[in-house]
Amino acid sequence: MSELVIKNGKLVLPDKIFEGDISIDAGIISKVGKDLKGDKVVNAEGNYILPGLIDVHVHFREPGASSKEDWNTGSFAAASSGITTVLDMPNTQPPTTTVKLLDKKREIAASKSTVDFGFHFGASTENMDELRKVEKIASVKFYMSSTIGNLFVGNDAVLFEELKILAERDIPGIFHAENREMVQHYMQRLINEGRTDPEAYSDARPNICAAEAVNRIIFLSKMAKNRLHFCHVSTKEEVDIIARNKSILPLTAEVCPHHLFLNKEDLRKLGSLVKTNPPLRSKEDQNALWKGIQDGTIDVIATDHAPHLMESKEKDIWSAPAGVPGVETMLPLLLNEVNKGNLTLNQLAKLTSENPARIFRIKDKGKIKEGYDADLVIIDLKKEKKVRNDKLFTKCGWSPFDGWKLKGWPVMTFIRGNLIFDNGDINKIKGREVSYG
Ligand code: NCD
Ligand code: ZN
Ligand code: ZN
Ligand code: ZN
């Protein structure tokens, strides 16, 4: 007899849907089968069950900006929406560029997070020695132009030397790929022209800025022989270059919900609220991202959950901070597409769980499979609900998707067998740092 059995689910396994039960012992999936018996039973009532989502791109803002988000609120927001593991970005204050600072962040997360967690370490122009010794990280993040937090590597020689260190140590490099000089040039030009309309922000970072940076990193990585992953791919040009290089390089790519579901038109309507780096693009770019998902060029969907307070977003397009929150809306947005027939549940599970675990070598997560952590989300594909700012767990208190009516919502989330989200209620547990294989 198992400790816990979740019965009558439609289980989204890596390559099929299986109608049956999951038994859980000591937080681990002990069996996937039919008619399993347990001391405790949860009835999934014929709903689909996904492996818990692994969001490889969040900014939970601690240390340094806990007025926007902290590990408590950020992890609640994640848990309420089927995300059971997050990988946090290093552009905190101070940035996570030394082993010491990383250890501090580990302590904060361990004491406050309800979801499981891991970290991307930050590359700077000065921290090569740290890159040689840092352990237990998902990757090293390179900001090629400054974004929020003023962390970047602005010198190609240093960048190349750092990539070689990663290659030696077999750590993936991940990239915020935008050409810094180009961004500065175009931005200054538009400011000088007196542009203040929200769309000016997209025009200030045209596609070439991202495409050039991706192209350069691909070349440098080919020479340095490191593994590489592109964050928030947003243009058709990037999709193109990535597709052409995927078979010859250990190269993976991520897109974010805001680039999949919003475009320049929304920037016109919502203004600074949807200012983000890289910016919202054209309808054509949006279509190229969806096509990249369908043909396998894109491996991961992650949120780039980048909360900022509403009052700071109320500034003009040049002064407002860049970034939008996303952990609470990713899964319902994608389930809504499943309902429309644009995505299958198996694809969704690959993009948000299996591939993230594989790419960052997160142990025992990413699949509904015997021996794996019992990180599970029960979803109700028929549930219709509006995204509402006043119902969110994120500390920033708003979503760019406020008012969107979506069909398909998570109803229960389990982390290592613990029921942490139950139809609107959060049960706080202690999240644990992931290990890497
Ligand atoms: C991010 C943030 O606010 O930390 N902002 C953003 O526009 N995406 C930084 C980043 O990921 O570039
Ligand atoms: Zn970024
Ligand atoms: Zn980001
Ligand atoms: Zn509202």
Q: Whose CA is nearest to atom 6 of ligand 1?
A: 323
196 and 175 housed in the same domain: yes
Judge whether 291 and 283 are in contact, CB under 8 Å: no
In a domain, 178, yes or no: yes
Q: Report d(CA 109, CA 119) in Å as an integer.
A: 10
In this predicted structure, what is the pLDDT of residue 169?
98
Task: Kindly write down the DSSP assignment for every residue of 376-411, as one continuous string.
Answer: EEEEEEEEEEE--GGG--STT---TTTT-EEEEEEE
Q: Which atom of ligand 1 is nearest to the CA of 149?
A: 4
Q: pLDDT at residue 150 above 80?
A: no
45 shares its domain with 57: no
Q: Is the CB of 392 under 6 A from ligand 1?
A: no
| Token duo for residue 86 | 């997050």
Residues 6+ apart with CB under 8 A from 18: 10, 11, 32
Nearest Cα to 121, choosing from 83, 169, 154, 75? Answer: 169
Angstrom distances, CA of residue 108 to CA of 53, 101, 112, 113, 316: 22, 11, 6, 8, 34
In a domain, 144, yes or no: yes
Write out pLDDT tens, residues 356-375: 999 999 999 999 999 999 99
Q: Are 124 and 156 part of one and the same domain? A: yes
**Nearest listed ligand to the Cα of residue 142:** 2
* Residue 364 within a domain: no
What residues pack around ion ligand 2 (CB closer than 5 A)? 176
In a domain, residue 394? The reply is: no
CB of 166 within 8 A of CB of 141?
no
Do 41 and 58 sit in the same domain of this protein? no
- 399 in a domain, yes or no? no
**Strand segments (E) across 61-146:** 83-88, 116-122, 139-143
Ligand nearest to the CA of 322: 1
Residues 26 and 78 both lie in one domain: no
Residues paired with residue 31 on neighbouring β-strands, in sequence order: 23
One domain, residues 42 and 61? no
Q: How many Å lie between the centroid of ligand 1 and the Cα of residue 305?
A: 8
Looking up tokens 């940035």, which residue turns up? Answer: 95
Is 304 a known active-site residue? Answer: yes
Query: What is the count of structural domains for the chain?
Result: 2
Residue 38 within a domain: yes
pLDDT for res 123: 97
Q: Which pLDDT value is given to residue 241?
A: 98
Q: How far is CA 272 from CA 32, 88, 206, 258, in A?
A: 47, 24, 17, 14
Q: For residue 248, give Cα distances in angstroms to 285, 350, 355, 356, 372.
A: 24, 22, 19, 20, 31
- pLDDT at residue 63 tops 70: yes
102 alpha carbon to ligand 3 midpoint, in Å? 17
**Per-residue confidence (pLDDT) for residue 289, from 0 to 100:** 98
The answer on 91 and 42 residing in a single domain is: no
In a domain, 259, yes or no: yes
Distance 401 CA to ligand 4 centre (A): 10
C-alpha distance from residue 28 to each of 367, 377, 417 (Å): 12, 15, 7
**Ligand 1, atom 5: nearest CA belongs to which residue?**
323
Quick: pLDDT tens for 247-281: 999 999 999 999 999 999 999 999 999 999 999 99
In single-letter form, the type of residue at position 251 comes to: L
Is 147 touching ligand 1 by the criterion CB < 6 Å? yes
39 and 60 fall within a common domain: no
Q: Quick one: pLDDT at residue 149? A: 65
Asked if the structure places residue 21 within a domain, the reply is yes
Cut 0.75: pTM above it: yes
Domain that holds residue 111: 52-359
Pocket test residue of 139, 178, 276, 281 for ligand 1, highest count of atoms within 8 A of CB: 276
Give the rounded distance of the alpha carbon of 369 from its chain centre: 23
CATH number at residue 135: 3.20.20.140
Tell me the per-residue pLDDT of 69-78, one tens digit each, with 9 for 90 and over.
999 999 999 9
